[in-house]
């Protein structure tokens, strides 16, 4: 899976934002606010096709947490992105 093209991930005043650009401006109104974990997942998704399992593994390494702590956040976040039509499978 991958985040659809047409977004820039930026840190604005200490907060992470996914900013729609180009044609995405007509489809997505406003900015998408992300917490630190959401921004990490977004960056990993921008790198290319990844499974939820790959995302969980990468975040476990990055944050030094157990899978049980990370997996629900990844599942919830990717479900939200799917519901908003922001992921390519």
Query: pLDDT tens digit string along 9-32?
Result: 999 899 999 999 999 988 888 889
Residue whose pair of structure tokens reads 């799917």 in the numeric block? 82
Q: In 3D, which of 1, 2, 36 has the Cα closest to residue 16? A: 36
CATH number for region 2-88: 1.10.10
How confident is the model over 26-48, as a mean pLDDT? 91
Question: Which residues does residue 11 pair with via DSSP β-bridges, in sequence order?
Answer: 16
Distances (CA, A) of 54 to 15, 32, 61, 62, 72: 25, 23, 11, 12, 14
- What pLDDT sits at residue 55? 95
pLDDT at 37: 92
Domain boundaries, given as residue ranges, for the chain: 2-88
Computed over every residue of the chain, the mean pLDDT equals 92
């Amino acid at each position: 899976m991958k985040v659809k093209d047409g977004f820039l991930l930026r840190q604005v005043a200490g907060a992470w934002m996914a900013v729609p650009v180009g044609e995405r401006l007509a489809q997505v109104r406003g900015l998408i606010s992300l917490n630190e974990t959401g921004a990490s997942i977004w960056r990993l998704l921008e790198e290319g096709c990844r499974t939820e399992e790959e995302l969980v593994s990468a975040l476990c390494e990055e944050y030094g947490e157990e899978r049980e702590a990370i997996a629900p956040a990844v599942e919830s976040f990717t479900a939200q992105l799917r519901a908003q039509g922001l992921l390519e499978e």
